[in-house]
């Protein structure tokens, strides 16, 4: 089996009965993208488009799907990203990697609340007359800050 790295896309009204390998069939009418698994196993991958499923980006030339395609249900268990009509092969995330991702997320939140963003927040609250709330929120953040980062 040959892994596919380049894709072409077709905007279709209806999904054809037989799918060609290396082709993304995009049906805006049915809010779905269908393609044959890029590992070459022949399984048909259906990715519904919705706020809680996949998002499609079309830049006029190529298609990007978010998030990644994880075919856990197939025998091949392939996992890849479709970015600008090319397939970027991924590996399974280990528990350690998931933890690292979560830690990075926590750090981003810490920087958001402790950085210049916090000041903007306060001035906004002041101008709208929510002074009490702002003070309470800031006090809580300072308390958290001391507890977590001392
Ligand atoms: Zn496959």
For 109-145, the pLDDT digits (tens) are 777 777 554 455 444 444 444 444 445 555 656 655 6
Query: Residue 19 in contact with residue 25, Cβ under 8 Å?
Result: yes
Average of per-residue pLDDT values in the chain:
79
pLDDT tier at 61, thresholds 50, 70, 90: very high
pLDDT tier at 147, thresholds 50, 70, 90: low
CB neighbour list of residue 62: distance below 8 Å, 6 or more residues apart: 9, 84, 85, 86
| 61-80 average pLDDT score | 90
Gap from CA of 82 to ligand 1 centroid (Å): 14
Gap from CA of 59 to ligand 1 centroid (Å): 27
Gap from CA of 81 to ligand 1 centroid (Å): 13
**Taking 90 as the threshold, does the pLDDT of residue 23 lie above it?**
yes
Gap from CA of 78 to ligand 1 centroid (Å): 6
Retrieve residue 77's tokens.
């268990």
Gap from CA of 97 to ligand 1 centroid (Å): 23
Retrieve residue 38's tokens.
């890029």
Retrieve residue 82's tokens.
């479709």
List CB-based neighbours of ion ligand 1 within 5 Å: 37, 39, 41, 76, 78
Gap from CA of 90 to ligand 1 centroid (Å): 13
Q: Delimit the domains of the chain by residue range.
A: 8-89, 95-149
Look at 2 and 108; give whichever has higher pLDDT: 2
pLDDT on residue 103: 76
In 3D space, the residue among 38, 42, 36 whose CA is nearest the CA of residue 3 turns out to be: 38
Supply the pTM of this predicted model. 0.61
């Amino acid at each position: 089996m040959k892994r596919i790295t380049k894709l072409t896309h077709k905007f279709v009204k209806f999904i054809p009965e037989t799918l060609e390998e290396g082709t993304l069939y995009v049906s805006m009418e049915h809010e779905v993208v269908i393609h044959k698994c890029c590992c070459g196993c022949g399984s048909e991958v259906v990715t519904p488009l919705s706020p809680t499923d996949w998002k499609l980006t079309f830049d006029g030339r190529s298609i990007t799907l978010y998030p990644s395609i994880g075919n856990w249900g197939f025998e091949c268990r392939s996992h890849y990203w479709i970015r600008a009509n090319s397939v970027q092969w991924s590996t399974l995330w280990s528990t350690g990697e998931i933890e690292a991702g979560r830690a990075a997320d926590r750090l981003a939140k810490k920087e958001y609340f402790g950085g210049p963003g916090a000041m903007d927040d306060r001035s906004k609250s002041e101008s709208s007359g929510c002074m009490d709330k702002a003070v309470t929120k800031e006090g809580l953040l300072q308390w958290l800050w001391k507890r977590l980062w001392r």
